[in-house]
Structure 1
């Protein structure tokens, strides 16, 4: 390699380096994806709890004059209430904490 070649390579490397007077701007991270699709949730219930839920749904169906009320609708509304009712949230939190501490 000649001196001219070395000088050209050094100049090329120097031009790729960041200048001291320029700001170090890191690339911005991609935006966080927000989940928009429904999320499937499954849980195991005791036979008694399941019977109670089904009986409650059957009672609601009679009140509404419908053949049935889906138990998933009842569970979704319970979750909605948990988010909107601070007193309910506190009662549920106390029950959950008592159970997981045992």
Structure 2
């Protein structure tokens, strides 16, 4: 499993509209091959800052499948105009360290 993480800086005054657009965009990403789950978190310390986490089966499901799809064009149309600066997207894999500090 791959975890995609994007820190989203939403332009001031656009939070409510962004959240409504994100609700409309969520079924788009959820319909993609390799999609597992996603969540949007709002920062408690900084207004207009959100963290998007998306779980994918493979890196290519995101970078090739989703980003190369017609559905991505709709995702962009719904969401990309809210960001300033445009977010950097990073991908992570789990590091096995044992359970509950047992190792």
TM-score, normalized by length of structure 2?
0.24
Looking at CA atoms only, which structure, 1 or 2, has the larger radius of gyration?
1
Q: State TM-score, norm by structure 1.
A: 0.24
- Greater fraction helix: 1
Greater share of residues in strand? 2
More relative contact order in 1 or in 2 (CA 8 Å, sep 6+)? 2
